[in-house]
Amino acid sequence: MLYPYTEQNTREQREVTERAVEPPKQWYKVVAHTQKGSIYQGLCTAFEREASEIEIFLHDKKGKPFNKRKVIPFEKLKALFLIKQFEDYPVAGPENIPAPPPNAPLAVEFHDGEIIVARPMDTNWKNAKRILLRPEDSSTNNLLLLAERTAIKSVSSLDVYKQEQARAFNEFVRSHFKPGMSHEECLGDYYFSRMDYWHAAEFYRTALEHTSSNARVKNKLCVSKYNIGMHHIKNKDYPQALQYMELVLELDPENAWAREKASKLQEHLRMQAEAKASKHQEFASNDSSLMERFVEGHWVKHRQHYILTGPAHAGKTRLACSIGAKATKYSMNVIYYRVPQLIERILSQKKDGGDIQILRAMEKTDFLILDDWKIEIFPDEEREEFLEIIADRYKRQATLIIAELPDNQWHQIFGTSTATNPKLNQVLYDALKVHLDKRGG
């Protein structure tokens, strides 16, 4: 595999490239949107309408290479965007972008509801299997886009589109407008009804600036931002999703939905960061063979329980998060909790029934990670319920309990509860145990 950056290729690959008679490949910065909603960003060497597939050298959102390639059949694409620039990783791209074509601008509506105003680059676009377009708004990061015909719902002239939009909006206003509603709020409702939460949020924000005490508009703005956050979750853009959930909480600190999502996103991002850090850390264990089995992570698919002990800063959390990250690659549901914060959340949400939802999620998830376990911090009622959940998960789902205990004190992890709960006692003694030494991290 030849990489777009010379320093990433082997010396032999560089020598072959330098001896080649053909000019070096032109790398295009692209973002591919599939019809199922997935997004892939990176570099490609072709931007051709007649190709059957597109091969992308993948990068993250900041333009850093993953050293992986993704081949996507065009029939599965919604559109391929040729972009101006990566955020933090400038890469030389095409300098001679064609001038705006003489064709009139079109409004291209996709099946997912997105509408792009752009000019076709060719006069015979009506018969083309894919339409090459130049966005009308030159201030965006998109230079060109290649739209797959099967992903397009309709194509109309810009004038016809504007007339249709005006007619639809006027009909919406006649049926929807109520006394006390501002024009901006009504516009927000219109875009919200079309699932365009970005424009809806803009108009709700403007309406709220005029009437900051309007609880109805504030709630609509919260819901719009929450839906944008959910959109980013769907596209696995978790940092951006967390940002929107935090924006909701700035407007409404008591918003239970956003609070729950923000908490899960924070834990997910922490798990990703810890998993990444664990790749560069060596772990020292009391049993190398058991440790190897633990790190491989196959025990998660076999629904086993593990107890991980060790002193502070031994790398317990990092190791657990790396195993959790592996499990997600097998399409397994993983929940990570730090027990002190989990208890705090359960007690705070007990009055409105939110604690039941958390406990049910713990029961059902494929892989449950309970970090910073301390049996003594549990209130009596919650302690027994927690232990019952762990016992019920035995041989049904995988569980990892992490505790700061000496190597020979793992039997104290459940306190005295094993004396009255035979099933829990079986869990304790059947669970595989790994102890990390401090020199491992």
pLDDT in tens, 247-275: 999 999 999 899 988 988 887 787 667 65
Residue 441 Cα distances to 7, 105, 179, 283, angstroms: 31, 60, 64, 7
Residue 228 Cα distances to 124, 170, 237, 267, angstroms: 37, 26, 11, 20
Q: Do residues 436 and 310 make contact, with C-beta atoms less than 8 angstroms apart?
A: yes
178: DSSP letter: -
Q: Residue 358 and residue 354: Cα distance in Å, rounded?
A: 7
Q: Residue 260 and residue 115: Cα distance in Å, rounded?
A: 32
425 phi/psi in degrees, rounded to 5: -65, -40
Domain ranges of the chain: 6-158, 178-231, 272-440
> pTM (2 decimals)?
0.53
Task: Give the per-residue pLDDT at 253.
Answer: 92
Q: Three-class SS of residue 281?
A: coil
Task: Give the per-residue pLDDT at 25.
Answer: 67
pLDDT digits (tens, 9 = 90+) for 102-120: 889 999 999 888 889 999 9
Alpha helices in 153-302 (DSSP H): 158-176, 183-193, 197-210, 215-234, 238-251, 256-278, 288-296, 298-301
Could you tell me which residue, 305 or 100, shows the higher pLDDT?
Answer: 305
Rounded to an integer, the average pLDDT of 362-372 is 88
- Is the pLDDT at 19 greater than 70? The verdict is no
Which residues are paired to 71 by β-bridges? 55
178-231 belongs to which homologous superfamily? Tetratricopeptide repeat domain (1.25.40.10)
Question: If we measure between CA atoms, which residue out of 36, 137, 132 comes closest to residue 82?
Answer: 132
Rounded to an integer, the average pLDDT of 352-367 is 81
- Is the pLDDT at 194 greater than 70? The verdict is yes
Residue 342 Cα distances to 345, 355, 392, angstroms: 5, 10, 19
Q: Residue 20 and residue 251: Cα distance in Å, rounded?
A: 59
272-440 belongs to which homologous superfamily? P-loop containing nucleotide triphosphate hydrolases (3.40.50.300)
Could you tell me which residue, 265 or 441, shows the higher pLDDT?
Answer: 265
- Is the pLDDT at 225 greater than 90? The verdict is yes
Residue 47 Cα distances to 50, 75, 201, angstroms: 9, 15, 34
Task: Give the per-residue pLDDT at 197.
Answer: 92
